[in-house]
């Protein structure tokens, strides 16, 4: 879910990107970045892996249109996104997708198909996360149950080709919709 104002930049100090000043185990200062995804405590030897975090997004299709949602919370409050969220420990991608669409839209999906994945960045409360976002298409014959909830305060049903890229909060959504357009052309 890349922010276009914070493009992906693998080089640089991970400690600065995640704003950790002290070791989460021993509490002492003196952390050092180790590669692109870990932080090492020189005092106690602890290594914290700030690895990729899995996320899922569902392109909900109904009557040649797709569902886009307006974000009710920061980051990117008030901007539009394709519905989805982070995978929780123990979940499969499919389970996480079903849970997120239920939580955000009250929708019970009965089928979904993998589309593509995109690496992203997500800045939350000063900490930069590195999601890998898996996109699925979810055809829905009936969306009568659809109600925005939780992290979403509005939704629209729009033909994907008419969605303006600049309306979208996340670059990964823009890239996914291009891939979706190529698939459905």
Stretch that binds Zn ion, among 39-47, 62-70, 101-109, 148-156 (CB under 5 A): 39-47
Question: Measured from the CB of residue 32, what is the shortest distance to Zn ion in angstroms?
Answer: 11
Nearest Cα residue to 139 out of 61, 59, 66: 61
- Interaction between residue 8 and Zn ion (CB under 5 A): no
CA distance 150 to 168: 19
- Interaction between residue 26 and Zn ion (CB under 5 A): yes
- Interaction between residue 44 and Zn ion (CB under 5 A): yes
**Euclidean distance between the first and the last CA atom of the chain, given in angstroms as a whole number:** 24
**Would you say 111 and 139 are in contact if contact means Cβ atoms under 8 Å apart?**
yes
Structure tokens at 158: 């729009």
Binding pattern to Zn ion, positions 46-85, x when CB under 5 A? x---------------------------------------
- Interaction between residue 41 and Zn ion (CB under 5 A): yes
Identify whether 79 is preceded by a cis peptide bond (ω within 30 of 0): no
Structure tokens at 38: 């870990």
Question: Measured from the CB of residue 152, what is the shortest distance to Zn ion in angstroms?
Answer: 40
Question: Measured from the CB of residue 42, what is the shortest distance to Zn ion in angstroms?
Answer: 8
The residues that touch Zn ion, with contacts defined as CB under 5 A, are 23, 25-26, 41, 43-44, 46
């Amino acid at each position: 879910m890349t922010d276009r104002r914070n493009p992906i930049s693998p080089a640089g100090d991970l400690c600065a990107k995640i704003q950790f000043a002290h070791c989460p185990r021993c509490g002492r200062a003196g952390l050092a970045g180790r590669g692109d995804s870990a932080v090492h405590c020189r005092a106690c030897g602890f290594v914290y892996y700030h690895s990729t975090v899995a996320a899922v997004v569902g392109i909900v299709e109904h009557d040649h249109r797709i569902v886009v949602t307006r974000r009710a919370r920061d980051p990117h409050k008030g901007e539009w996104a394709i519905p989805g969220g982070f995978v929780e420990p123990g979940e499969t991608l499919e389970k996480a997708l079903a849970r997120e669409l239920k939580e955000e839209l009250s929708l019970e999906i009965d089928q979904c198909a993998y589309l593509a994945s995109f690496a992203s960045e997500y800045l939350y409360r000063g900490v930069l996360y590195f999601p890998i976002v898996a996109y699925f298409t979810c055809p829905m014959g009936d969306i009568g149950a659809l109600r925005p909830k939780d992290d979403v305060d509005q939704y629209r049903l729009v033909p994907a080709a008419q969605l303006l890229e600049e309306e979208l909060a996340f670059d990964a959504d823009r890239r996914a919709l291009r891939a979706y357009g190529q698939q459905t052309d």
